[in-house]
Structure 1
Amino acid sequence: MSRRPTIADVAALAGVSRATVSFVLNDRPGVAAATQQRVRAAAKELGWTPSRSARSLSTGRAHAVGLVLSREPELIGTDPFYPAFMAGIESVISETGDGLMLHVCRPGDEEATYRRLDSDRRVDGVFLTDLRVDDPRLALVAELGLPAVVVGAVEGGTQLPTVNLDDRPVIRHAVRHLVELGHRDIAYVAGPEEFVHARRRRQAWADALTEAGLPAGSVLAGGFTAEGGARATQALLARSAPPTAIVYGNDLSATAGMAVAQEAGLRLPEDLSIVGFDDVPLASWTLPSLTTCRADPTSWGRAAALALVEVIERGTAEDVELDPATLLLRGSTGPAPVRGASA
């Protein structure tokens, strides 16, 4: 054929109506198996696939799922969590023929973004990530009737399906590891206080110090960014009695902290031990390699996508509890230095 084939061409070759072709290729019930086989064979022979717009009209669906990230656009490229998370999503929706619509909006524009996605019928459902304390999005998606899956735990619970990974045990494990190495002054560089998972990790660190019989440690904000991690590390090392170990809310701030410490002339781990969180690909290539907590964002994305597809198709899905994060011991942690010893 010199022109692009159409649904009418498929119908003519298969000897059925255009409606039957639409039913078969949109996986609707009620078409005999032999007819389905004939239609699919005709479509394959002609090299015809339904356009996304036509498919959306026939099914009443957008065939896309949404991920809205509320942060400054220039910060998106610096966060290694989301590329892996989105890869997990894509591994699922590539099989369903759906697409992922990513929206990056500045803080304050979030509600308008969700309302626009819903009113324009751009997506069939959304992922809610970076849960905040008293997060207004939970009520918003309920008001809109927009299918949604929550990625992470919600304080006080929610009626929406959740995909969660408990990150508290691994933080306590990291602190115990440092205590066993002789560290008694273990500081923490925290993520944004409004994020539920940032609060949980900080609280797990504080609880572990209490369990070890140690006094409360120093907490500085790092914001989950390299710049924040660097500033917090500089402030901690400038103290008259700096900590001998620092736990960071994520790997990005931890790797920046490592660079700051080494620039200050400290040896890792002889003078300072450092622990991160996430296990981004760079973590095993730093010098020394970074001891960190592996949370596997790809598996988060995959599980969240499976749950959202189920919510879209069936109206509900079971909560999913992923395997807990694990501590990966590498070169950035070692025995506590003896105070007053020469380098």
Structure 2
Amino acid sequence: MADERRPTIADVARSAGVSKGLVSFALNDRAGVSPETRERILAVARDLGWTPSLRARSLSVGRAFAGGLVIGRSPDVIAADPFFPSFIAGIEDEFSVSGQVLVIAVATPGRHEAETYRGLASDRRVDGVILTDLRVDDDRIDLVAGLGLAAVTLGVPESASPFSSVSTDDGAGIRLAVEHLAQLGHRDIAHVAGPGSMLHADRRRRAFDDAARHAGVTSRVVETDFSAIEGARATEELLDAAIRPTAIVYSNDHMAIAGIGVAQRRGLIVPRDLSVTGFDDIEIGKHVHPTLTSVATDARGWGRMAARALLAAVGGAAPEHVSLPDPRLIVRASTGAPPRTTAAAAARHQGD
């Protein structure tokens, strides 16, 4: 009969070639372990299938050993958003080897959302939460602080916050996209943006405006809720304009792919007649026709770092602000030079 004995810390230590004490420090995210050794120990623990006795730990220290993720978007938008599955996978990368459980709730922003946080705290279902989709004047920060929960914000809030944050430059990828299109010769570029109430969408929009102004190009913006159907609607609006843009910078890949579909149904050829860029660099974007130029971000890495920061906060560590590498622009087949007639007209206009 196969040995079904549950792996222990001693097994992890033996396989990793370190002491049990060092394994305990690594698994509990305590100081005194180098990043390289910690990663090696976590990898060995995952390979062995090691998991802690959650019930015993909870009873002994009075903690839930759970982190909360309350997503304030409609289920349809969440289902279509490529960010959250990768982000959640990153959280689970960390939680799975440190004995944590991830509690996910979808709530309508406002009263329902606030009651969800209150319920998690009053029932002691979580020790802390990760706050995503930061908003202008985000009242969740004061709410969560008042509930006594540890927390980490995904992005840096505009208002004062007592919590750690994990962030990247929201506008860097958009600036790269605009610069790329301007270098190709585009002089009329549009941006299909996310909701202005969300800080990361607002920062991307501001980055677009700044980059367009710096490049000396005509620009326009259409706001959406990040969904593919709204991306299609925004594309229809832009293509119906008296003078349509020669390039569109979308705030996520699903909207960009929907936009390509709208353009092709109208008989336009991408990128001959219209160049398109996305954001997130999802897998399907590498296989659509034409392949999608997109801004690559590490959503799974965000999840891992957010989970680590939350575990540190729950353990009493001082707040810290973790900056992730800037996004990169991956150039593929959906971008090219603008139509010749448009480029010639722009050149004549500049010469007048």
Residue 152 of structure 1 corresponds to which residue in structure 2? 155
Partners of 2:338 and 2:200 lie apart in 1 by: 28
Matched residue type, 1:328: I
Matched residue type, 1:209: A
Question: Do the aligned partners of 1:132 and 1:196 also contact (CA within 8 Å) in 2?
Answer: yes
Question: Do the aligned partners of 2:52 and 2:99 also contact (CA within 8 Å) in 1?
Answer: no
Identity %: 51
Q: In structure 2, which of residues 173, 176, 183 is the aligned counterpart of residue 173 of structure 1?
A: 176
Aligned-partner SS, 2:71: strand
Offset of residue 280 of structure 1 = 1.2
Partners of 2:193 and 2:240 lie apart in 1 by: 18
Partners of 2:167 and 2:208 lie apart in 1 by: 19
Offset of residue 334 of structure 1 = 0.2
Offset of residue 105 of structure 1 = 1.3
Partners of 1:110 and 1:310 lie apart in 2 by: 25
Question: Do the aligned partners of 1:67 and 1:101 also contact (CA within 8 Å) in 2?
Answer: yes
Residue 245 of structure 2 corresponds to which residue in structure 1? 243
Aligned-partner SS, 2:233: helix
Question: Do the aligned partners of 2:77 and 2:226 also contact (CA within 8 Å) in 1?
Answer: no
Offset of residue 72 of structure 1 = 1.8
Partners of 1:329 and 1:222 lie apart in 2 by: 24
Aligned-partner SS, 2:242: coil
Q: In structure 2, which of residues 93, 113, 134 is the aligned counterpart of residue 91 of structure 1?
A: 93
Question: Do the aligned partners of 1:73 and 1:106 also contact (CA within 8 Å) in 2?
Answer: no
Aligned-partner SS, 1:269: coil
- The aligned runs of 1:35-46 (5 Å cut-off) are none
Offset of residue 59 of structure 1 = 1.6
- The aligned runs of 1:35-114 (5 Å cut-off) are 52-108=54-110, 109-114=112-117
Residue 131 of structure 1 corresponds to which residue in structure 2? 134
Residue 282 of structure 1 corresponds to which residue in structure 2? 284
Aligned-partner SS, 1:276: strand
Alignment coverage as a number of residue pairs: 297
Partners of 2:286 and 2:97 lie apart in 1 by: 32
Partners of 1:340 and 1:256 lie apart in 2 by: 24
Matched residue type, 2:182: V
Residue by residue, what CA displacement relative to the aligned partner does 1:54-110 show, whole Å, maximum 9, x if unpaired?
432222010110000012223321111100000000001111011110011123311
Q: In structure 1, which of residues 301, 306, 309 is the aligned counterpart of residue 308 of structure 2?
A: 306
Question: Do the aligned partners of 2:54 and 2:99 also contact (CA within 8 Å) in 1?
Answer: no
Residue 14 of structure 1 corresponds to which residue in structure 2? none
Residue 19 of structure 1 corresponds to which residue in structure 2? none
Question: Do the aligned partners of 1:279 and 1:296 also contact (CA within 8 Å) in 2?
Answer: no
Question: Do the aligned partners of 2:53 and 2:99 also contact (CA within 8 Å) in 1?
Answer: no
- Does the alignment pair 1:204 with 2:207? yes
Structure 1: 5+ residue runs without aligned partners? Answer: 6-23, 28-48
Structure 1 residues 114-123 or 235-244, which shifts more? Answer: 235-244
Aligned-partner SS, 2:248: strand
Residue 216 of structure 2 corresponds to which residue in structure 1? 213
Distance of aligned partners of 1:194 and 1:312 in 2 relative to their CA distance in 1, 3 Å threshold: same
Offset of residue 295 of structure 1 = 1.1
Partners of 1:295 and 1:50 lie apart in 2 by: 32
Residue 21 of structure 2 corresponds to which residue in structure 1? none
Q: Whose Rg is larger?
A: 1
Partners of 2:78 and 2:225 lie apart in 1 by: 13
Matched residue type, 1:308: L
Partners of 2:224 and 2:260 lie apart in 1 by: 14
Offset of residue 314 of structure 1 = 2.2
Aligned-partner SS, 1:65: strand
Matched residue type, 2:216: G
- Does the alignment pair 1:143 with 2:143? no
Aligned-partner SS, 2:109: coil
Question: Do the aligned partners of 2:128 and 2:150 also contact (CA within 8 Å) in 1?
Answer: yes
Matched residue type, 2:164: P
TM-score in terms of structure 1 length: 0.83
Distance of aligned partners of 1:123 and 1:269 in 2 relative to their CA distance in 1, 3 Å threshold: same
RMSD: 2.0
Residue by residue, what CA displacement relative to the aligned partner does 1:194-252 show, whole Å, maximum 9, x if unpaired?
0000000011011011111234x111112211011000001111112110000011111
Offset of residue 141 of structure 1 = 1.2
Residue by residue, what CA displacement relative to the aligned partner does 1:275-326 show, whole Å, maximum 9, x if unpaired?
1111111111111111010111001001100100000112434210000000
Structure 2: 5+ residue runs without aligned partners? Answer: 6-23, 29-50, 344-352
TM-score in terms of structure 2 length: 0.81
